[in-house]
Amino acid sequence: MTTIAELPPGFADKVLSAQSTFRSVMDAMARPGSVQRILPMAGTPETMMRGTAAIALTLFDHDTPLWLDARMAESPGVLKWLKFHSGAPVVQDSSIAAFALISDGAALPPFERFALGTNEYPDRSTTVIIQVESLDRGPGFELRGPGIDGAATLQASIKPVDLFERLRCNETLFPRGIDVVLVADDAVAAIPRTTRVLGKGG
């Protein structure tokens, strides 16, 4: 039997930790490809990285339907932790989710399965949070778009390997689209729907 005491804790200081985490995510979203650090730490249930846990505590609540990939959904620790700390309803239908948590990028469903928003309300789209191996090593991706002065290079070791090819759907969908947040441990980077990938370096 599990008791509350066995749950990993949330933020030690809810207010200031959420603020600091939000500013990291906001800076990441405003400057696509830049890697921000998430400083405040909470306890993490298994399969969830420190950064993901902090983002969950910062942005999720009863207003945000949540979709979890199979590995997270099958983890009772994650479900209990999210339910206790955020109260966000976990939904089976990914097309109504405000946020999706992906711990196993290789099993990322096609983006069409998520909410893409409508032309009238493009903001009603899923923000997909993908846990990746690394945001400072790996192949370089050259990014352009709003928030980037010229071009930015994101070095990342990401699954799925064709993530940026898949994100090309954002070019034709705009203003509808998918916004992606990449998390590697305490590092976070964002690829909003306006970001375009030009080339792939070494």
Partner 1 sequence: MNAPAYNFAYLDEQTKRMIRRAILKAIAIPGYQVPFASREMPMPYGWGTGGVQVTAAILGPQDVLKVIDQGSDDTTNAISIRKFFAKTAGVATTTSTEEATVIQTRHRIPEASLHANQVLVYQVPIPEPLRFLEPRETETRRMHALAEYGLMHVKLYEDIARFGHIATAYAYPVKVNARYVMDPSPTPKFDNPKMDNCPALQLFGAGREKRIYAIPPHTKVVSLDFEDHPFEPYRFNAPCALCGAENSYLDEIVTDDKGSRMFVCSDTDYCEGRQAAGHHGALSAAPYKDKAQGKAREKANG
Point out which residues bind partner 1 (CB under 8 A).
14-16, 18-20, 22-23, 25-26, 29-31, 58-61, 63-64, 98, 118-123, 125, 127, 146-150, 174-175, 177, 179, 192-194
SS3 of 12, please? coil
- Return the number of the residue (26 or 161) whose C-beta is nearest partner 1: 26
- Return the number of the residue (6 or 149) whose C-beta is nearest partner 1: 149
- Return the number of the residue (71 or 196) whose C-beta is nearest partner 1: 196
Work out how close the CB of 125 gets to partner 1 at its nearest, in angstroms, rounded to a whole number: 8
Q: By C-alpha distance, which of 123, 124, 141, 146 is closest to 182?
A: 141
Complete edge-to-edge strand list for the sheet that includes strand 140-144? 152-155, 140-144, 196-200
Complete edge-to-edge strand list for the sheet that includes strand 99-102? 36-37, 187-191, 179-184, 127-131, 99-102, 66-68
Work out how close the CB of 33 gets to partner 1 at its nearest, in angstroms, rounded to a whole number: 12
Work out how close the CB of 119 gets to partner 1 at its nearest, in angstroms, rounded to a whole number: 4
- Return the number of the residue (16 or 70) whose C-beta is nearest partner 1: 16
Q: By C-alpha distance, which of 164, 163, 124 is closest to 144?
A: 164
Please state the separation of Cα 139 from the chain's center in Å.
20
Work out how close the CB of 87 gets to partner 1 at its nearest, in angstroms, rounded to a whole number: 10
